[in-house]
Amino acid sequence: MDAETVAGRIHSSSHLVVFTGAGVSTASGLPDYRGPEGVWTLRDKGLKPKPVSKPWNQFEPNAAHYALVDLQEMGYLKHLISQNVENLHLKSGILPQNISELHGNSTIWKCLDSDHRFSGDQLGWDVKKLGRGYRTKKPHPEQPDCPSCGSRLINSVVNFNDPMPDLEMEVARNHARQADLFLVIGSSLAVNPAASFPRMARKNGAELVIINMGRTEADHLADLRIDADCSVFLPEVISHLRSHSVS
């Protein structure tokens, strides 16, 4: 019934915005942060995070990612705001113009001056040789400069104490304010300023639906709160939308 209800609300929406956190990628084999075995949960207990089984660029999208692509292709999804950096949304088929990656993307480098973006493959960036290229690290003497203007390139991932990306924040802010339905998937909403967007949407009149395994910091604001595995739940929502079994 919950999947049918969410499908109905999506079907009736005019400006659906989706917000994703690490929980959308756990079915791909990546850890979350605040779940029972999450990275920060374990660290808070003085335990080491569980190692991932392979390099991040070798993980593949799961059914939750592809369900969001379905929403895009069906015309429902107007914008996706994501806290994730592992590139699985773009890898699954979300169009670059339809996503604001608030915390960056580990496969994308950007120019500090012009903000032009380049993939690691475009640059021939060898991480083993040149490092990750984070803003706070001293530039490697052999790393490439921006092909457009010759300025320094940095990895687009936003680490602690890094400034948030202005463009992504502004686009996300505009869509959050326009949303009539704001769907949170796989986030505990514990990290700001990203977690401010569901609250912003709710304040501007959007209906707020939260799908997450475990509590979130905005549960008290939700019009509908669903505790479910999004890689199972979202395909059920898509099935209802395709069959027009919505209410």
pLDDT one-digit tens code per residue, 165-196: 999 999 999 999 999 999 999 999 999 999 99
Asked about 103 being catalytic, the answer comes back as yes
Q: How far is CA 20 from CA 50, 66, 80, 149, in A?
A: 22, 13, 8, 34
DSSP classification of residue 203:
H
Identity of the highest mean pLDDT range in 38-42, 44-48, 235-239 = 235-239
Torsion from C-alpha of 180, 183, 187, 189, nearest 10 degrees: 20
Domain map (residue ranges) of the chain: 2-106+164-243, 108-156
Q: How far apart are the first and last CA of the chain?
A: 10
Q: If you average pLDDT over residues 137-155, what whole number do you get?
A: 95
Tokens of 165: 């990306």
Angstrom distance (rounded) from CA 217 to CA 34: 11
Say yes or no to pLDDT of 247 above 70: no
Alpha carbons 205 and 220: distance in angstroms, whole number: 15
Residue type, 68: L
By the 8 A CB rule, do 102 and 154 touch?
Answer: no
Q: E strands, the chain, where?
A: 16-20, 77-82, 99-101, 108-111, 117-119, 153-155, 181-185, 207-211, 224-226
From CA 245, how far away is CA 247, in angstroms rounded? Answer: 7
Q: Which of 233, 247, 194, 199 is nearest to 68 (CA)?
A: 233
> Is the pLDDT confidence value at 246 over 80?
no
Q: What is the pLDDT of residue 59?
A: 86
In DSSP terms, 29 is beta-bridged to none
Mean pLDDT to the nearest integer, 207-221: 96
Instruction: Determine the pLDDT at residue 42.
Output: 47
User: For 2-106+164-243, which CATH superfamily applies?
Assistant: TPP-binding domain (3.40.50.1220)
Please pick, among 15, 65, 79, 103, the residue that the annotation labels catalytic.
103
What local confidence, expressed as pLDDT, does residue 24 receive?
97
Other beta carbons within 10 angstroms of residue 42's beta carbon come to: 17
pLDDT tens-digit profile of 111-144? 999 999 999 999 999 999 999 999 999 999 999 9
Supply the DSSP symbol for 160: T
Of 103, 153, 163, 116, which Cα lies nearest the Cα of 132?
Answer: 153
pLDDT (0 to 100) of residue 57:
75
Reported as a pLDDT band with limits 50, 70 and 90, residue 159 is very high
CA separation for the pair 139, 146 (Å, rounded): 13
Residue with tokens 């707020």: 208
